Structure 1
Amino acid sequence: MPDKRLRPRKRPGQQRAVETRQRLLDAAARVFSEHGYRAGTTNRIAEAAGHSIGSLYQYFPNKDAILVELSAAHARSGVAAVDRLLDGGALPDLLDDKIRLFVRAAIDNHRDDPSLHRVLFEEAPRPPELLDFLHASQLRAVAAAEALLDADPRVTVADVPMAARLVVTSIESQVHRFTADTDLENVDAFENELVAMLVRYLTPM
């Protein structure tokens, strides 16, 4: 179901317009982080960006369309982080270290602005195009995890394909929830416990 309300009005081609659009997005991230979804109005965003509300509406029809853009950028950043790990050469030999790399990549993608990520995770709309991207990204991550687990002699869980899915979704959901609900002071303890939980599940014998 395409929804024009959730799509940007135009994609700028000239450098000045590209920079204006990015300033609006950066300002929106600050506003949503500081004020939350309800008080993160387009007027506040335009003011924070140093532009008129009319200028904002040239690029975005409403604040939900801006949130969709921020959510998509966040999702692309997470996918890029995983791709860098997979394409960066040899992974660590130890299973614990492999799992820790992917847990830490997910944490790093959230720790810069937990307040913003809380809004993105809990209140941002998700149009079909974004859901399709998230679904395809998850399928790729699960396939990569299955290949890694299948090649690791320490993994003894009976159903490796299901285990790969559970590892990927557990990291995604647990990191999302942790970073949304806490101030990240005990992030090292969280990382250690999540890695230990997943390794214990993957090596039952």
Structure 2
Amino acid sequence: MRQEKPAASKSATPRRQARGERRIAQLLDAAAGVFCRNGYAAASTNSIAKEAGVSPGTLYQFFPNKEAIAVELGGQLLQRAHEMHGQAFLPENLRKPLPELLDAVLDPVIAFNCENPAFWALMHGSGVPGIAHGHEALHANLTTRILGVLRTFCPEATEAELNLTANMILGIFKSSLDLILATEGDERAAYIAELKTVLLRYLDPMFTVTEFEREPRAEIPH
């Protein structure tokens, strides 16, 4: 008489899923380190597997190639970047004086980039279409948020003037971020302080509306 096979444990599938999620997180963390040190072009699946302490075969169980790893990692970082921008551009920040507004907006953005150096490496050096499209959307969203702030503080400026100023702000920030990410400690802090000084001196003459003259319900577009 044929014996019935024991029923599979109900917890087996969730356990396998949890192990798979941990392995994916391990591989993405390893990829972030490799992309930062070597750049996307020079990185390989073998180097990522070695960094993660697994065999290439294990890596291929989850990702078919390097691009798939970059797309997954880039997608997660882009989502976190969108969330961070939402925290930086809170509506109540519009009630702050310009120096405090710069602190409130710049500090979380700079901290995110310093804590996630792979973000900069992938957004500006991978050339992967999926990442490039996501980065363009993030850039457009950030530009919209900056324009919202400028419209509140500079109500008499034309749209052309506002767009020029927004692009200059982003250009100054990106150039400064290169220096910030390349340094640490006191030197990094000095570059951050210089960035804020530059933007303060650039924007202060343009801001014709003070925090006390603005509508309490003014909001930064999302």
TM-score interval (norm. to shorter): 0.7 to 0.9
Aligned to 1:9: none
Shift of 1:56: 0.8
Q: Secondary structure at the match of 1:196?
A: helix
Alignment of 1:150-165 (within 5 A): 150-152=151-153, 159-165=161-167
One-letter amino acid matched to 2:179 = F
- Does structure 1 residue 204 correspond to structure 2 residue 176? no
One-letter amino acid matched to 2:128 = R
Aligned to 1:171: 173
CA offsets per residue over residues 145-165 of structure 1, 9 Å max, x none? 122222226x88772232123
Over the matched positions of the two proteins, sequence identity in percent amounts to 28
Aligned to 2:146: 145
One-letter amino acid matched to 1:15 = A
Moved more, 140-149 or 183-192: 183-192
Gaps of 5+ in 1: 1-12
Alignment of 1:54-133 (within 5 A): 54-87=57-90, 90-91=92-93, 93-112=96-115, 114=117, 116=118, 119-120=121-122, 123-127=125-129, 129-133=130-134
Structure 1 vs Structure 2 CA RMSD: 3.0
Shift of 1:143: 1.7
Aligned to 1:10: none
Aligned to 1:8: none
CA separation in 1, counterparts of 2:172 and 2:84?
17
Distance 1:137 1:33, change over 3 A: closer
CA separation in 2, counterparts of 1:160 and 1:118?
26
Gaps of 5+ in 2: 1-15, 207-222
Q: Compare CA radii of gyration and give the structure with the larger one.
A: 2
Shift of 1:54: 1.4
**Conserved 8 A contact 1:71-1:124:** no
Distance 1:150 1:110, change over 3 A: same
